[in-house]
Amino acid sequence: IAYRYIMNNPYKSEEVPELVAWRIAMNFGSQAQNPFLTTLDNVKKVALNTDGLGQSVLLKGYGNEGHDSGHPDYGDIGQRLGGADDMNTMMEEGSKYGARFGVHVNASEMYPEAKAFSEDMVRRNSAGGLSYGWNWLDQGVGIDGIYDLASGSRVSRFADLSKEVGDNMDFIYLDVWGNLTSSGSEDSWETRKMSKMINDNGWRMTTEWGSGNEYDSTFQHWAADLTYGGYTSKGENSEVMRFLRNHQKDSWVGDYPQYGGAANAPLLGGYNMKDFEGWQGRNDYAAYIKN
């Protein structure tokens, strides 16, 4: 208990207890399934159905042509979705209903169509070839994370995003950070640098893997989305850590026997994401509200 007086408190972690209704609004493959103003309408519906419970909406595919397109051009707000004007309208109006918004970004790999793509920033393997990443649309190419940090390219791209969204956006979701397959240098030192860069823009830090950023992240996707991903990266399973930080993070291993944790136990609480805006094909609004 005494340690709480000196421990690190993740930026904006005081918001976490109020964020009861987490979900992902998905756009993919140039289809603009959930334009920004449609997402705003859904915020209003959820507020009406829940008497205004706090909502946290992750915009997965907010930029370029949707999810995993155009990384890492953070300031390239999707025109098919309504552009920066509609995005800001969504966030400004949505905040009146208790909603906070964040965007999915990638700092580990980049795509050929991105304006930020450069020969200097590519990561290469020991044979001199490109280090490849995800490839379900265009082939992702690994980012040299140290170059990205030291050159100022990354901070400049976040500044581009900040110019577009002002003070309206609440958090950044940093995808795949810590898997070491793309940028290759995502250790604790660089992770702290990343968190500071994000926090300095006024954004809370969230990420994907349970082990990706214990120090500063307030949400780990795989921990809260119990049916998504494998058990080895499911969340943080330290009982001591949970005793200290249960009120600050949605990051704990789910209540599945094979996971060995109790994120949605009756006394401690926790979340099992359902969604209804396309992530993992989920579209059942009634199931989301019931959950």
How many structural domains is the chain composed of? 1
And the tokens for 105? 């970004």
Do residues 249 and 258 make contact, with C-beta atoms less than 8 angstroms apart?
A: no
Half-sphere exposure of 213 (CA within 13 A, CB side): 33
Cα separation of the two ends of the chain: 32
Encoded tokens for 255:
């209540």
Q: Are strands 141-142 and 171-175 parallel, antiparallel or unpaired?
A: unpaired
Residues 50, 216: Cα–Cα separation, whole Å: 29
The runs of H, that is alpha helices, within 131-238 are: 145-150, 153-165, 188-199, 221-224
269 burial level (CB within 10 Å; 0-12, 13-18, 19+): middle
pLDDT in tens, 25-76: 999 999 999 999 999 999 999 999 999 999 999 999 999 999 999 999 999 9
What amino acid positions are annotated as catalytic residues? Answer: 175, 208
Residue 219 identity? F
Q: Which residues of the chain have pLDDT under 50?
A: none
**Burial profile 59-93: b = 16 or more Cβ within 10 angstroms, e = fewer:** bbbbbbbbbbbbbbbbbbbbeebbebebbbebbee
Angle, CA 125 vertex, CA 123 and CA 127 arms, to 5°? 135
Q: What is the pLDDT of residue 282?
A: 95
- What is the model's pLDDT at position 221? 93
What is the residue whose two structure tokens read 């705003």?
40
pTM strictly above 0.85: yes
Domain that holds residue 244: 2-290
CA atoms within a 13 Å half-sphere pointing along the CA-CB vector of 93 = 15
Kindly give the pairing relationship between strand 204-207 and strand 99-106.
Answer: unpaired
| pLDDT at residue number 226 | 84
Two structure tokens written together for 246: 């249960």
CA-to-CA distance for 273 and 226, rounded, in angstroms? 7
Whole-number pLDDT of residue 235: 82
Confirm if 205 and 10 have CB atoms less than 8 A apart: yes
Tokens representing residue 152 in the block: 């100022």
Write the CATH number for 27.
Answer: 3.20.20.80
Strand 21-26, strand 55-60: pairing: parallel
For 58, the 3-state DSSP assignment is strand
